[in-house]
Structure 1
């Protein structure tokens, strides 16, 4: 659930969606009595119980640094079992439909119809709920809507599909994803067709996607 530095830094200070309750930005070391598990946290060298360990996203995460343990992560799926705190299974419900997603799709349609004021008000419905500052019509463009979708739906939406649909995948992946985004090309908008699928098409030749 590691996020890009870009995604973490998108939030205004008062926006609940970027708070510690939504994105894990620090840990407080607890002894056995303070922990629900009844087990004491393992103390790093130089720390005591009650100390705070803060995450560090001053520099963006890259492929080489992707295994860092001091990087913020989304808490939407954060869970651990008392009997196995190192386990990675998660049984939280996953939202299938989100009202906020519907509002943001509506705002996108309003923008394309030239109704920037309507789009801003639709976005503000979502932002008021999150205690984020309201925006004006002059701030609305497709990039702002995509930023707002990240603020609201990070780790939930199929981001690649959204960026491809809006014609922004190549541009924004190169700009904001430094964990491989610098290597993507126009070709990568499509995935290669598996060779076994091509070979199974006996009645008519199936061409591979361009570039593969």
Structure 2
């Protein structure tokens, strides 16, 4: 049933081809072949397709296959949301590097020379401001149209909008708030501060917490999904607003933990083609190799990490290899000796034909490719395909366990040190890593354990910033600041530059300091 639901939601997303890009300004009404008002008046059931389209925009580049895009860019496959998150969260951090270096990618992988004209910053910014007006317009229209289950659908749309804004808060630190009261205004909207965006998203999530259901169809938001996003917002509140909210982060993390999810028995199963059956994944970004093909979902991770030069790519369910991504010793070095480590996660690097040291990030043999994500089923047989069918676990329970431990270590009210240790050891023991003692559990350990467990899942840059280790020279990694052994980078790099195209489109926007 869950596999069926996966194909239904993707199929509906592909069928609803109403939207076109609206990224030239931030308050233009979406152009449609048929107005949403008229569409829903003729067929109220079309709301399911519209909702599916909005979920799909996190995984797909556009509505007409892998060569289409909702936003503008010379290569549509580059513009997908998930591809942007991997580029900006993992390649800019210590865990992963890319060797292609094409048209601005070097700036990310070396965390240096960031430029507001870099297309990769623009892709995420434009994607957010594609999602925000579209969801707002549907919410606005639903106020005057009768559809079944309307309150829940509006709640899901508000979650989707909040999720998009979360990445605006995290990556760019400011922007404009588009909502039902100002949608369609012809004059440029005013810039909102990071704190104002934070408060808007916080209030949206609090408002929908009791509207969303306890359970929902696969790939759609439920109560725990909104609670997890709130917990992440609060976990990073000190970075975002200057005021720590670890008590609130713990409160909402506990709600997620109590929602009934369980750790998957096997770590690899979480990143395999049949992971839509997982008991651990709270919110996935759906992929399908037939119904919904994309160069920007997990296809980017799977194919990008493979090469026929050193690997048999059929072993990972792929027919295409892009010879691009490798991990650095800042990640695989955390497991100690990979050959003797009992940790299952230590086995998820391809070492044959590769060098431990990344002396040249553009040389494929330097660094170990991560084989954490693959396009093969964990249970049963599978067929190799050009596009990945492995869903991306944006939120999962192990992350919540580690968040609980971090909040407790940071002094959150109500946190239990013994429970924190239990959660951390459950995560470790799932992968056959050695259990730790209470004396070993500190914030440095949590940061390293988050790397061992969650790297290549779009968290690392945010984690390093929260722990004060992203900028400056206290913590160095290979090619940080475009030097072999790493060098200090300025504190302004805690935020990405506002794209030049956005500044030109809205005179009320201002550039982030240092750019």
Q: Does residue 23 in structure 1 map to residue 326 in structure 2? A: no
* Unmatched segments (≥5 aa) in structure 1: 27-53
1:171 to 1:105, Cα distance in 2 relative to 1, 3 A: farther
Structure 1 residue 17, shift from structure 2 partner: 0.7
1:124 to 1:55, Cα distance in 2 relative to 1, 3 A: same
User: Which residue in the other structure is 2:166 paired with?
Assistant: none
d(CA) in 2 for partners of 1:82 and 1:172? 46
Whether the aligned pair in 2 keeps the contact of 1:116 and 1:140 (CA below 8 Å) is: no
1:172 to 1:75, Cα distance in 2 relative to 1, 3 A: farther
> Of the candidates 426, 447, 472, which is equivalent to residue 146 of structure 1?
447
> Of the candidates 47, 52, 56, which is equivalent to residue 355 of structure 2?
56
d(CA) in 2 for partners of 1:3 and 1:190? 23
CA RMSD, aligned part only? 3.0
1:153 to 1:103, Cα distance in 2 relative to 1, 3 A: same
> Of the candidates 464, 474, 491, which is equivalent to residue 186 of structure 1?
491
**TM-score (normalizing by structure 2):** 0.31
Q: How many aligned positions are there?
A: 175
Secondary structure of 1:2's aligned partner: strand
d(CA) in 2 for partners of 1:157 and 1:211? 25
Structure 1 residue 83, shift from structure 2 partner: 8.2
User: Which residue in the other structure is 2:371 paired with?
Assistant: 75
Q: Does residue 197 in structure 1 map to residue 502 in structure 2? A: yes
User: Which residue in the other structure is 2:330 paired with?
Assistant: 6
* Unmatched segments (≥5 aa) in structure 2: 1-324, 377-381
Q: Does residue 90 in structure 1 map to residue 385 in structure 2? A: no
d(CA) in 2 for partners of 1:132 and 1:172? 30
Whether the aligned pair in 2 keeps the contact of 1:192 and 1:209 (CA below 8 Å) is: yes
d(CA) in 2 for partners of 1:211 and 1:92? 39
Whether the aligned pair in 2 keeps the contact of 1:104 and 1:149 (CA below 8 Å) is: yes
- 1:18-76 deviation digits (Å, cap 9, x = unpaired): 02xx22223xxxxxxxxxxxxxxxxxxxxxxxxxxx5320x2x14x3432336321112
Whether the aligned pair in 2 keeps the contact of 1:117 and 1:136 (CA below 8 Å) is: no
Whether the aligned pair in 2 keeps the contact of 1:4 and 1:177 (CA below 8 Å) is: yes
d(CA) in 2 for partners of 1:92 and 1:125? 25
Whether the aligned pair in 2 keeps the contact of 1:77 and 1:90 (CA below 8 Å) is: no
Q: Does residue 207 in structure 1 map to residue 506 in structure 2? A: no
- 1:71-112 deviation digits (Å, cap 9, x = unpaired): 32111234599889xx7x533222232211111111111111
